[in-house]
A and B are shown apart, each in its own frame.
Chain A
Amino acid sequence: MNRPTLSDALRRVVDEVLEASGLGFAEGREEVEEELVAHFEDGLARGVPEAELIRRFGDPVQAGLRIARTRPRARARERGETGGWWMSMEVWWNEVTRAARRLRRAPGFTTIVVLTLALGVGVNTSIFTVLHAVLLDDLPYEDPDRLVRIYERHEDWGDLEYLRAPLVVELREWEEVFDGVASMYTYREQGADLTDGDIPVRVNAMAVSAGYFETLGRTPLMGRTFEEAESFGTGDVDDTPPPGVAMLSHELWQGHFGGGSDILGRTVQLDGQSIEVVGVMPADFRNPFGVQADLWVPQNLRPGGSNHWRNFYLSGIARVREGVDLDLVDERLAVLGTALVERVPEAGHGATAVRPLQSDVVGETRQTMLWILAAAAALVLLTACVNVANLLFARGLGRDRSLALQSALGSGRGRLIASILLENAILASLGGMLGLLFGWMGVEVLLAISPNALPGVADVSFGFPVFAFAFLVTTGALIVFGLTPALRMSRTAPAEVLRSGDRSSTVGRLVRRLRDGLVVTQVAAALVLVVGAALLTRSFGSLLDVPLGIEPEGVVTFEVHLPGMRYPTPDDRVRFHDEYQERLRSIAGVQSVGATSWLPVNGRYHSWSFNWVPNEDPDPEGEFRGTDVRMIHGDYFEAMGIRLVQGVPPSDIDLEAEQVAWINEEIVRSTMPDVDPLTQRIGLAGTVRRVAGVVADVPFSTRGEVSPKSYVPHVQGDNRNWALTQVVRADGDLDGLLESARAELRAMDPALVLYRPESVEGLLGRVRAQDRFATTLMAAFGLLALTLSLVGTYGVLSGSVASRTREIGIRIALGADAGSVRSLVLRYAAALTIPGVIVGLGLAWLASGWIEALLFEVGAGDPWAYVAALVAFGGVGALAGWLPARRATRVDTVEVLTAE
């Protein structure tokens, strides 16, 4: 349609009518417009002055509202429709378009409500999706409730230990308790070079006993699992030839072998040894813990070698017999253990402990962390709902007049409620859709920032039920709070609202109290989150301050594994390490090069024992004292930045002349405080070693836990076949350094792989992942809640100032100065925030016991955390009060008092 041209003043009248009518296209908005324009054109054509036309026309808003009631019916009649479902569909559609238009006219309100909803829904969807996957979903095995992890329990101090191989063999006989028992080698990752062609690839190979897959209740996709004889049987482990079989993961089969069905029976080289592929596991199979293996090989548990009663190195899993509960299992295990020791005295003790596999996999701290984060997310949802409720109240109050007008003009209560519901439904849908997007992105972000913070077995996929739950909660809040204005209106005489120019008269005391209460709730919930975030941040700060006894800057580490077939003798391997380290030292910028069997701050490993007698040779039959043993090569202490406290570094000693070891300060402190350690000898794995030096303690965890530790030169080890991690300290670009290290390796042996390169700082980041994960999320939640409560408090205060404009104007007219007006508003701000803060502090105090499990060197009652939260909320109160207070002082007295 060509839009006729009218003067601005007349055009404005037409627009006002259309605006007030809220007509949509379907209701013939354009026809009404055309008719009104024609009306004015006709008037002008007859020579009526413009001002007179406007005067005669009357109130455009009244006209618009009347048209709104009459027009759709006329329109339907025009189309020859007299009712029926189509008619009601059209009425609904009209209502929807009108609601959408109303929202478009309030972009600030709409944006904030939709964003708040989306954040509440998104945050909860993502957190609960992860929580669901990790804590609530069953492990992906048959009848997972019957699966347990078995530990040995140290009889003296009750610590849980790995299993000894002979015990695994014994456990298999305890059929009154277990339907199946299996072991896995998870003590450390087993990398291996897989060669199928020319270029080797590095794979994770996990040794598991026969019966492993059966115990978990999973069958291979094709082929077979391991046979009894491949793990168990009579004879010595060293005398039985390796079974030479392997099972592949679905991923390796697809990725490396192209997924062909001819894979079964194929022979590949694993660390230079011929291995036949006998089976492939399904795509969804994962180890319950340990690495996610690329392939599995059978673990030989025959006696001999490492399989004796003094070597704790296997992880055990078992399937409890149907109908046997865990208490009974404990009871029977105690009896069977005692019987074992009587029958086999060299077992020493037979105390075992079982833990449900699910909680073992997740771990207690992680479980607590996830529940705390879930509770925090729920609090975010609460503050979001409260915020939305408050915004809706504010909007409801603002709409009182238009609702009253509609009501006075005969719109039924039902229709009013329907129109408000539609508006809220639109908000909920927009918020929900955006929330879905946020939730999906949130899951991705959580997975991205949580390496090692979540167990690998958990299959985190987007949780639609969770989304539905969060969506329903927010939508419910939206409907309940959104309807209040409509319901209130239906109980208030419209005339009363219309007569009164001052909106405050319609603000029911109850509603005002409800709104205040909502703000108090919001502030309290947000304060709990902020205290939690402050506690975790302080705790993480303390973690970063823990002295680690190493200098991580400028140090890279990587592994090089030597296949036994090509480096068969200890001398071959030592030669390799010597030459390779020499080559590494020649790279520009390299300061020092060493190697170790296990990196610091990376958990315990190789817990062994030593004998010691003060100032004498150790007595092999004497008391065993615990120590973690590290094999080292080259200038390890220097490369890692471990301080030598006493004695000399390995480079100053002729390692071929005598057997030596370095011990840490913890051994000196706990075992030999009164002697000169440099004059002592210790017995370590049957070898007497002179203490050549004492080095500073290096914790095995990020929390600074220290264990007794001895360092033994790799060249003096029995078979010198340790998987060593190279440690290189250098100036400048570490990536460039790694490239050079790779080139040197290729020059020496092109078939070797530089495996898992990582800076020590990267390692520290990795081991701190869980703490950082919890801290980051809690801080984000705290910030979010703080912002939401700022918006909520501000909304209530500015609404209050707006509704009290007249009162404030009178006060100013009566002589109140700006200061006292300002303090009037600020007092209200304080009245809103202070009760919230008090309630919040109480709740935070109550909840703090729970979060204590996650805290490090910070008490749950840490005053600084509470002070920080108080300051933050003081800021919120001041900020939320400041703008409305300023507005209040600028109320124009004359305008206010003459307005009515």
Chain B
Amino acid sequence: MTLEREWMRGAAPLAVLTLLSRREMYGYELVEALERDSGGLLSMGQSTVYPLLYNLEGKGHVKAVSRSAPSGRKRKYYRATPAGLKWLESQRSQWAKLVAAMASLGVQDDGSVA
């Protein structure tokens, strides 16, 4: 199953930043992690990951550092910045409120309506 475009647009930055708040990653790692950790739900077209990263970088939510990977290849590692973590925090709390609001409307975790 995949998400509809509008959901994806809102969720993708949140998911990426959540992953990068745990540890720094380079592009392909991030792509894999998204696919694996979200059970495929957030496996967006990989091509959109990079613009998304640049966008977060432009906003100052992530920072990129070029370094050699353990394999010896040069990689660009992204990590969340303090500003990014702060933004993530506010997004999460909005997310929680949204889930709570939905729950109070009777929308249950499995999508059924009570």
Q: Which residues of A contact B (CB under 8 A)?
A: 17, 31-32, 34-36, 38-39, 41-43, 45-46, 56-60, 62-63, 66-67, 69-71, 73-74, 76-78
What is the bound-complex CA distance between A31 and B64, given in angstroms? 11
- Asked if B54 and A39 sit within 8 Å, CB to CB, the answer is no
- Asked if A66 and B48 sit within 8 Å, CB to CB, the answer is yes
Most chain A beta-carbon contacts within 10 A, residue among B54, B58, B66: B54
What is the bound-complex CA distance between A56 and B31, given in angstroms? 10
Query: Which residues of chain A come closer than 8 Å to B95, judged between CB atoms?
Result: none
Q: Which residues of B contact A (CB under 8 A)?
A: 26-29, 31-32, 45-48, 50-55, 57-60, 64, 66, 71, 73-76
- When A32-B50, A67-B50, A74-B58 are in contact, do A39 and B28 touch as well, CB less than 8 Å? yes
Q: Which of A32, A38, A67 contacts B28 (CB 8 A)?
A: A38
- Asked if B48 and A70 sit within 8 Å, CB to CB, the answer is no
Q: Which of A36, A41, A62, A78 contacts B57 (CB 8 A)?
A: A78
Q: Please name the residue on chain A nearest to B57 by beta carbon.
A: A74
- Asked if B45 and A71 sit within 8 Å, CB to CB, the answer is no
What is the bound-complex CA distance between A807 and B64, given in angstroms? 52
Query: Which residues of chain B come closer than 8 Å to A71, judged between CB atoms?
Result: 51, 54, 58
Closest 5 CB pairs of A and B: A58-B45, A73-B58, A66-B51, A42-B28, A63-B47
- Asked if A59 and B47 sit within 8 Å, CB to CB, the answer is yes
What is the bound-complex CA distance between A76 and B48, given in angstroms? 21
Query: Which residues of chain B come closer than 8 Å to A56, judged between CB atoms?
Result: 45-46
Closest CB in chain A relative to B24 CB, distance in Å: 15
- Asked if B47 and A74 sit within 8 Å, CB to CB, the answer is no
Closest CB in chain A relative to B29 CB, distance in Å: 8
What is the bound-complex CA distance between A46 and B69, given in angstroms? 15
What is the bound-complex CA distance between A74 and B58, given in angstroms? 4
Q: Please name the residue on chain A nearest to B55 by beta carbon.
A: A70
Q: List 5 A-B contacts (CB under 8 A).
A: A56-B46, A58-B45, A58-B48, A67-B51, A77-B59
Closest CB in chain A relative to B59 CB, distance in Å: 8
Q: Please name the residue on chain A nearest to B65 by beta carbon.
A: A78
Closest CB in chain A relative to B1 CB, distance in Å: 17
What is the bound-complex CA distance between A50 and B29, given in angstroms? 17
Query: Which residues of chain B come closer than 8 Å to A74, judged between CB atoms?
Result: 53-55, 57-58, 64
- Asked if B60 and A77 sit within 8 Å, CB to CB, the answer is yes
| Chain A binding surface SS class | helix
Most chain A beta-carbon contacts within 10 A, residue among B31, B46, B47: B47
4 further contact pairs, Cβ within 8 A, besides A42-B29, A73-B58: A38-B76, A42-B28, A58-B46, A76-B58
Closest CB in chain B relative to A813 CB, distance in Å: 37
Closest CB in chain B relative to A640 CB, distance in Å: 88
Closest CB in chain B relative to A242 CB, distance in Å: 93
What is the bound-complex CA distance between A69 and B59, given in angstroms? 13
Closest CB in chain A relative to B5 CB, distance in Å: 12
Query: Which residues of chain B come closer than 8 Å to A63, judged between CB atoms?
Result: 47-48, 50-51
Q: Please name the residue on chain B nearest to A60 by beta carbon.
A: B47
Closest CB in chain B relative to A382 CB, distance in Å: 47
Closest CB in chain A relative to B100 CB, distance in Å: 32
Query: Which residues of chain A come closer than 8 Å to B48, judged between CB atoms?
Result: 58, 62-63, 66
What is the bound-complex CA distance between A178 and B60, given in angstroms? 85
- Asked if B45 and A35 sit within 8 Å, CB to CB, the answer is no
- Asked if A38 and B73 sit within 8 Å, CB to CB, the answer is yes
What is the bound-complex CA distance between A515 and B32, given in angstroms? 53
What is the bound-complex CA distance between A39 and B57, given in angstroms? 18
Closest CB in chain B relative to A836 CB, distance in Å: 50
What is the bound-complex CA distance between A274 and B106, given in angstroms? 126
Q: Please name the residue on chain B nearest to A53 by beta carbon.
A: B46
- Asked if A35 and B47 sit within 8 Å, CB to CB, the answer is no
What is the bound-complex CA distance between A822 and B15, given in angstroms? 59
Q: Which of A62, A70, A76 contacts B47 (CB 8 A)?
A: A62
Q: Which of B27, B51, B52, B59 contacts A39 (CB 8 A)?
A: B27
Query: Which residues of chain B come closer than 8 Å to A70, judged between CB atoms?
Result: 51-52, 54-55, 57-58
What is the bound-complex CA distance between A77 and B57, given in angstroms? 7
- Asked if B57 and A43 sit within 8 Å, CB to CB, the answer is no
What is the bound-complex CA distance between A857 and B50, given in angstroms? 78
- When A38-B75, A39-B27, A78-B64 are in contact, do A57 and B54 touch as well, CB less than 8 Å? no
Query: Which residues of chain B come closer than 8 Å to A41, judged between CB atoms?
Result: 73
Query: Which residues of chain B come closer than 8 Å to A17, judged between CB atoms?
Result: 47
- Asked if A38 and B58 sit within 8 Å, CB to CB, the answer is no
Q: Please name the residue on chain A nearest to B32 by beta carbon.
A: A46
Closest CB in chain B relative to A342 CB, distance in Å: 100
Q: Please name the residue on chain A nearest to B43 by beta carbon.
A: A56
Closest CB in chain B relative to A5 CB, distance in Å: 13
- Asked if A69 and B73 sit within 8 Å, CB to CB, the answer is no
Closest CB in chain B relative to A51 CB, distance in Å: 14
Closest CB in chain B relative to A74 CB, distance in Å: 4
What is the bound-complex CA distance between A70 and B58, given in angstroms? 7
- Asked if B57 and A57 sit within 8 Å, CB to CB, the answer is no
Query: Which residues of chain A come closer than 8 Å to B50, judged between CB atoms?
Result: 32, 35-36, 39, 63, 67
Query: Which residues of chain B come closer than 8 Å to A42, judged between CB atoms?
Result: 26-29, 73
Q: Please name the residue on chain B nearest to A69 by beta carbon.
A: B51
- When A67-B54, A71-B54, A74-B54 are in contact, do A38 and B27 touch as well, CB less than 8 Å? yes
What is the bound-complex CA distance between A76 and B60, given in angstroms? 10
Closest CB in chain B relative to A60 CB, distance in Å: 6
Query: Which residues of chain B come closer than 8 Å to A78, judged between CB atoms?
Result: 57, 64
- Asked if B58 and A77 sit within 8 Å, CB to CB, the answer is yes
Closest CB in chain A relative to B39 CB, distance in Å: 16
Query: Which residues of chain A come closer than 8 Å to B59, judged between CB atoms?
Result: 73, 77
